[in-house]
Structure 1
Amino acid sequence: MKIFKIEENDANQRLDKFLKKLFPNATRSLIYKLNRKDKIKVKDIFERENKFKKKDNEYKLQIGDEIKIFLSDNEFKELSEEKIEILEKSEKFDKKDIVFEDGFLLVVNKNSGINVHSGDYKTKETNIIQQVQDYLGEKLNSLTFKPSLIHRIDRDTSGILMIAKKKNILIQLVKDFKEHKKLEKTYYTIVLGRLSRKTGTIKKSLKRIENAKAENKVQVANDGQTAISHFSLLKEHVIPANLFSNPKEIIISEVEVKIETGRMHQIRVHMASIGNPILGDKIYGDQKMNSFFAKNFGLKRQALHSWKIKFFHYGRNKKMELTANLKPDLKNFLENISKIEIKD
């Protein structure tokens, strides 16, 4: 027999849904059977009798409720134990990548090349959620809630990624991201070519291409979803002609992009649509130039970085602004460019 007390992260969910999360190896019919056979009893914090009683599957758990489960240790272990993959040292989360952490949130500076979720890109590679769960370990005081992504960024994009430690924070911030309210997301990118103007707004609707060779490819389409990006030139670099056998000058631009909407591949498609594809972008970029910069400057991925975010922290009841420094590969790329570029 085991007794559990319901805390904030486990409250406000149906009893049967709580039990299914607590017992991931149990079928739903078994969950109902356990309750039907009086193997599950609840002490309702609002009931005067203060006794453990049988509750309907639809009963919504409240903070302070207690649950008594009449199972042997072996039965409990068999139903609840999940296979947790032990991460190698090289796969573990680097604490230096923490941008911000408190009891409500963990904000990390994600490396390029790592998936944010196990379901992404149909791969068994280590993902951010695995790393975060490994890092937090027993710090999370919850029976059924696990650290969860508030938003996503592409596998080959680096930078700010927010993870919720509390269910109520997850719900509130996911809503803000979906509605794009109370927050401002700023990206840093390096694009090919000279911008037609130093600042501007791209308002072009985007639509996913069905049956595209590249999974999850997106295109500009009048019948797509509204997407708005604001760009500003930060710095321009000119690579001289006849260097590395290139017959003419190559211009690249460092650009800040603020997005009003959060569509899939929004910045990548928008910048490519105005003739300034992101360097290293394998889907929307200039593949010849990608090869040039990979071979001669070591840029192996798309030069896109989730740089800054302004948001409302509901746990602290205040506005916050966070910044994630550029990753070493982008810094090294810029240093190598500065050594050979044409100076004004």
Structure 2
Amino acid sequence: MCDLNILFEDDDIIALNKPSGLLVHPSWIAPRGTPNLASMLKVYFNGGSPYTIHRLDRPTSGVILFGKNKEIAQKMNALFAERKVEKTYLCMVRGYTPDGDVIDYALKEELDKIADKHANKDKEPQEAVSDYRRLDTVELDIPVGRYEKSRYSLVEVKPKTGRKHQIRRHMKHIFHPIIGDTNHGDNKHNKSFRENFDLQRLMLMASTIKFEHPITHQVMEITAPVDLYTDQLFTQFGWAGLYPSDNTHT
């Protein structure tokens, strides 16, 4: 079990930098005893239970918040519901994206086969909006498919809504899927990165979260640095300095 990477902690909130591949909570899709942040925090709190504020997909890394008490969790849940929390993600995608745009594309709810087997499968698509901007690009002398070279973009995304797999599905929608995405990505490019760069993760990182602390009323901006693998890969592509690479928080 990995150690907790704590980005910020006070009497009410703890912010962690979640590694790619680590579950947030125990899940039916993983064997009993599989490491997860909630169980790790329970040990850290000497048996006290953490309160869920929001979630990250298992393959996504980056900043995630937990409440230390029910009151703060309810207040933070309300901030998320009222869209008063600004989240910023970093991702590497196939191809050269436009300089920036707003993706306003409703998404039909993705249901788990077991957990959601009794859920309504005919619900209307839900509003989903993501702002993005391209930070940089790289062209590699690596053939993929019928192309002699391959092109990729480093992209910053600010989701305005919080639908399941929203960023992954939105980037696929505009034909720039995220590298390492086995569900919504491009298998040829995923395979190329596994073979040429030993890629073992989804290239989607929750880099920053900004909100007004419900108790202190201080404006919080908590940033999670990318992991060592990602830092080395992005540096190789000439992208150093365009993304968080050290622990910072306000």
Q: Shorter-chain TM-score: which interval?
A: 0.7 to 0.9
Amino acid at match of 2:39: Q
In the alignment, does 2:3 pair up with 1:100? no
Q: Which runs of 4+ in 1 moved over 4 A?
A: 209-213, 244-247
Match of 1:158 among 58, 61, 68: 61
Q: Sort the Cα spacing of 1:246 and 1:330 in 2 relative to 1 into closer, same or farther, 3 A.
A: farther
CA displacement 1:182-217 (0-9 Å, x = unmatched): 21010000001011x20100000011356879x99x
> SS of the residue aligned with 1:152?
coil
| CA distance in 2: counterparts of 1:258 and 1:103, whole angstroms | 28
Instruction: Give 1:148 deviation, angstroms.
Output: 1.5
Cα deviation 1:22-41 (Å, max 9, x = unaligned): xxxxxxxxxxxxxxxxxxxx
**Which of these two proteins has the greater Rg computed from alpha carbons?**
1
Instruction: Report the Cα distance in structure 1 between the residues aligned to 2:187 and 2:123, rounded to whole angstroms.
Output: 27
- What's 2:141 paired with? 240
Structure 1 residue 338, shift from structure 2 partner = 4.4
2:192 is aligned to 292
Q: State the match for 1:55 in structure 2.
A: none
Matched, 1:115 2:23: yes
For residue 119 of structure 1, report the CA deviation from its aligned partner: 2.8
Q: Which has the higher contact order (CA 8 A, sep 6+)?
A: 2
1:223 equivalent in structure 2: 124
Deviates further, 330-339 or 108-117: 330-339
CA RMSD of aligned residues (A): 2.5
1:252 to 131, 152, 158: 152
- Structure 1: how far apart are the matches of 2:54 and 2:35? 18
For 2:208, give the aligned amino acid.
Answer: K
Residues 93, 132 of structure 1: 8 Å contact kept: no
Label 1:222 to 1:198 Cα distance change in 2 as closer, same or farther (>3 A): farther
Contact 2:145 2:188 in 1 (8 A): no
**d(CA) in 1 for partners of 2:79, 2:92:** 28
Gaps of 5+ in 1: 1-90, 141-145, 340-344
Q: Shift in Å at residue 133 of structure 1?
A: 1.2
SS at match of 2:133: strand
List per-residue Cα deviations over 1:222-247 (Å, max 9, x = no partner): 930000000000110110256x9985
State the TM-score, normalizing by the size of structure 2: 0.86
CA contact (8 A) 1:93 1:135 kept: no
Q: Distance in 2 between matches of 1:122 and 1:241?
A: 35
Using the alignment, how far apart are the partners of 1:322 and 1:247 within structure 2?
A: 40
Shift of 1:121: 2.7
Is structure 2 residue 201 aligned with structure 1 residue 310? Answer: no
Partner of 1:199: 100
* Alpha carbons 1:104, 1:169 under 8 Å: kept: yes
Question: 1-side partners of 2:188 and 2:145: how far apart?
Answer: 13
TM-score by length of structure 1 reads 0.63
Q: How many pairs does the alignment contain?
A: 233
1:43-54 residue pairs with structure 2 within 5 A? none
